[in-house]
Amino acid sequence: MALLAGDAGRLLRGSMLLIAGTMAGNVLNVVYTFLMARLLAPPDYAALVALISLFIVASLPAGTIQTVVAREVAIAEAAGDAGRPGAIVRRLLARLLPVALLASAGLLALASPAAGYLQVDDPTPLRVLALILGVLLLLPVLRGALQGRQRFGALAGLGLLDVLVKLVLGAVLVRLGYGVTGAFAAMLAGAVAGLALTAVALSHGHTAEAAAPDFAPLAPALEPAGPGPAAAVVAGGKSGWRMGLATLLALGGLNAMVTLDAVLVKHFFLPPEAGAYAAVSVLGRSLFWASGAITLVVLPLAARRSAAGRSAPPSGRLGAVLGGHELLWLSGAIVLGLGVVAQGLFTAVPGLLLALLFGSSYRLAAPLLPLYGWAALCLALANVAIYYLLGHGRAAPALIAPLGALLQVALIVALRQSLQGVIVALLVANAALLAASLVALVAAGGRTRGESQPVAEQEEQGSACRRQQ
Determine, yes or no, domain membership for 70: yes
Above pLDDT 70, what percent of the chain? 71
pLDDT value for 285: 83
- 240-254, 310-324, 372-386: least confidently modelled range: 310-324
The set of residues, in sequence order, having a beta carbon less than 8 Å from that of 346 and lying 6+ positions away, is: 283, 284, 353, 369, 370, 372, 373
Determine, yes or no, domain membership for 26: no
- Is residue 197 domain-shared with residue 305, that is, in the same domain? no
- Is residue 139 domain-shared with residue 273, that is, in the same domain? no
pLDDT, averaged across the chain:
75
| Residue 86 reports pLDDT greater than 70 | yes
- List, for residues 379-405, the tens digit of each pLDDT value: 999 999 998 887 777 888 899 999 999
pLDDT value for 460: 46
Mean pLDDT of 198-202: 87
Q: Which amino acid is at 426?
A: L
Determine, yes or no, domain membership for 386: yes
Determine, yes or no, domain membership for 27: no
Dihedral Cα 264, 267, 272, 277, nearest 10 deg: 0
- The count of domains in the chain is 2
pLDDT value for 428: 96
Three-class DSSP category at 210: coil
Determine, yes or no, domain membership for 22: no
pLDDT value for 430: 95
Q: Residue 205: pLDDT band by 50, 70, 90 thresholds?
A: low
Determine, yes or no, domain membership for 24: no
Mean pLDDT of 276-305: 76
pLDDT value for 287: 80
pLDDT value for 306: 62
Q: What stretch of H or E contains 93?
A: helix 84-109
Q: What stretch of H or E contains 30?
A: helix 16-39
Contact 356, 265 (CB under 8 A): no
- Is residue 128 domain-shared with residue 275, that is, in the same domain? no
Which domain range does residue 111 map to? Answer: 40-216
Residue-by-residue DSSP string for 228-263: SHHHHHHTT-SHHHHHHHHHHHHHHHHHHHHHHHHH
Q: Residue 88: pLDDT band by 50, 70, 90 thresholds?
A: confident
Mean pLDDT of 192-202: 89
| Residue 77 reports pLDDT greater than 70 | no
| Residue 447 reports pLDDT greater than 80 | no
- Is residue 256 domain-shared with residue 202, that is, in the same domain? no
- Is residue 8 domain-shared with residue 142, that is, in the same domain? no
**Strand ranges (DSSP E) for 92-222?**
none
Distance CA 76, CA 1 (A): 34
- Is residue 52 domain-shared with residue 173, that is, in the same domain? yes
Distance of CA 22 to the CA centre of its chain: 11
- Is residue 159 domain-shared with residue 257, that is, in the same domain? no
pLDDT value for 453: 43
- Is residue 187 domain-shared with residue 254, that is, in the same domain? no
Helix/strand/coil percentages in the chain, nearest 5: 85, 0, 15
pLDDT value for 222: 29
Determine, yes or no, domain membership for 382: yes
Determine, yes or no, domain membership for 32: no
Distance CA 324, CA 314 (A): 4
